Structure 1
Amino acid sequence: MASVTRRSVIGAALGAGAVAALAGCGDPVVWRSGRLDSDHWPGHRPRWRLALPKGSKAPPLVVVLHGRGGNADAAFDDLRLQDHVTRTGLAVASVDGGDLYWHARRSGADPGAMVTDDLLPLLRDESGYAGPLAFLGWSMGGYGSLLLASALGPRVVGAVVAESAALWTEPGASAPGAFDDREDFRAHDVFATSRTRVLARIPVRLDCGDTDPFVAANRAFARRLPSAHLTVDKGGHNTDYWRGHAAAQLDWVAARLRDGRGQ
């Protein structure tokens, strides 16, 4: 059983009373953060962050998976997802995932299992969310969002946003380091029928820029999963594109988590 640290980093330094005081200083977002001690990532203590709408009880939860080279800060420092928490009423959480593409690796690390086995129970305690959650990710995290949703299924996941998802239609085309070998690619291929059958029961939104290097693979995935809503519009594989789509994506997520009716 993984040991999970649930104290806020700020709380550990200042005490719970100071955290409450900071939350009341005009910021409509309540911040919590900490580190995980996870058996799924030996030798690492990944950081997590959580932005909650102030005064909300058990808000719907969005788990954000960052892209390659990112960390738990990217969702907030780069994409500014906290700017949409008050309007949507969503809680938004993020966690360090390294460059491991959110699945089990030969090294023994498994950031995907870290999310499902360690992070989600922690976030349930921290936010009080009770219903289906959503995944939102970009690039590596877009792939990871589809992968984890296909593993957890519609009882746990109520919506998925995969933007500029790092997808490949065959093992030889994947980026160096994304998979250990061809067998690893096949074991975690979101194009696989066993995974698309699950994803067909979950609302899936795909956004990709028209000059993004992954646009062809995203179009191919939309053909494989015709229930998904694909938007290809002007933009590339960069923070400007991802930040510019955040408001519409979180509005879309909020509608699906609240009404439970899917697409």
Structure 2
Amino acid sequence: MATLTRRSLLAGAAGAGAVALAGCRGSGAVPVRSGTLRSSHLPGHVLNWQLAQAPSPSGSSAAAPVVVVLHGKGGDASHAFRIMKLHEHVKETGLTLASVDGGDFYWHARRVGVDTGAMVIDDFLPLVRRETGYEGKVAFLGWSMGGYGSLLLASELGPDAVFAVVAESAALWTAPELSAEGAFDDRADFIAHDVFRRTDVLSKIPVRMDCGRSDPFVPGNKAFGKALPSAELTFDKGGHTAEYWTSHGGPQLEWVRRQYDRQ
């Protein structure tokens, strides 16, 4: 199985320029294709993935930029499309969306011997590149656990490999004792994967954060906004619900597209 290292990501990003995809945009959902993936980072697991790919613009073979979508706790790869309906915005934005099962491991290495973050970087991203032909920088979009994971993985790959991050209703806590049960193995695990300690890297990447005013993660998101003043942080009506996330999907992907075009 091919492994995508930071070096290969940077090489791919360096070799791909921004491509105007206005010619392929329009309304309506695109088909979602799916498959399975095995990873040494989750031994014994068969992971499902789903992909909604934007067509190349007329007269061009350039592949659409990729957004990796990370689901929340209790979710799976299908939630990006079955619940969030993100494929309805693919033609309009000219973006390709890719999601994969991540379990409830908060997208980082855990004591039980799994590492869903490494799975995304080492196994899923190479698969997406093979499926789509896209070789440039990627974006991340996620909600709740996936919002936290999007910030975390973007901080690990850095600005040479990631062009934008959307963290929606992100599961963020300012101290280990405040975190939800099961999110981290212990205090050391929390500290090792604390995105508040990674704002120097994240300040070099465009970050958008949306959170409903009734969401229990408002305190953590407000604190993170202060720690990362470059982030575009919005608090509006809503809670920690699929209805809130679905209603923001279109504007968030339009924002991602603008960040890609500004590179």
Q: TM-score range by the shorter chain?
A: 0.7 to 0.9
- CA separation of 1:28/1:244 partners in 2, compared to 1, >3 Å: closer, same or farther? closer
Q: Determine what percentage of the aligned residue pairs are the same residue.
A: 63
Correspondence 1:72 to 2:89 = no
1:235 to 225, 238, 250: 238
Look up the match of 1:111: 116
Tell me by how many angstroms 1:55 deviates: 4.5
Look up the match of 2:207: 204
Tell me by how many angstroms 1:132 deviates: 1.1
Correspondence 1:155 to 2:160 = yes
* Runs of 4+ deviating beyond 2 Å: 54-57
Quote the Cα distance in structure 2 between the aligned partners of 1:35 and 1:180.
28
Quote the Cα distance in structure 1 between the aligned partners of 2:228 and 2:262.
22
Look up the match of 2:14: none
Given that 2:29 and 2:87 are in contact with CA atoms closer than 8 Å, whether structure 1 keeps it comes out as: no
What letter corresponds to residue 259 of structure 1 in structure 2?
Answer: R
Tell me by how many angstroms 1:2 deviates: 6.6
Correspondence 1:217 to 2:188 = no
Given that 1:30 and 1:54 are in contact with CA atoms closer than 8 Å, whether structure 2 keeps it comes out as: no
Secondary structure in structure 2 of the residue aligned to 1:191: helix
Q: Which has the higher relative contact order, 1 or 2, with Cα contacts under 8 A spaced 6 or more apart?
A: 2
Secondary structure in structure 2 of the residue aligned to 1:29: coil
Tell me by how many angstroms 1:29 deviates: 1.8
Given that 2:37 and 2:47 are in contact with CA atoms closer than 8 Å, whether structure 1 keeps it comes out as: yes
The number of aligned residues is 236
- The normalised TM-score by structure 1 is 0.87
Give 1:31-50 correspondences, 5 Å limit: 31-50=32-51
Quote the Cα distance in structure 1 between the aligned partners of 2:68 and 2:104.
17
- 1:168-202 deviations in Å (ceiling 9; x for gaps): 0000000000000000000000001xx11000000
Secondary structure in structure 1 of the residue aligned to 2:195: coil
> Which residues of structure 1 form unaligned runs of 5+?
4-26
Look up the match of 2:169: 164
Correspondence 1:146 to 2:157 = no
Correspondence 1:189 to 2:194 = yes
Tell me by how many angstroms 1:30 deviates: 4.0
Given that 1:161 and 1:249 are in contact with CA atoms closer than 8 Å, whether structure 2 keeps it comes out as: yes
Question: What is the root-mean-square deviation of aligned Cα atoms in Å?
Answer: 1.5
Quote the Cα distance in structure 2 between the aligned partners of 1:227 and 1:239.
27
Given that 1:167 and 1:214 are in contact with CA atoms closer than 8 Å, whether structure 2 keeps it comes out as: yes
What letter corresponds to residue 131 of structure 2 in structure 1?
Answer: E
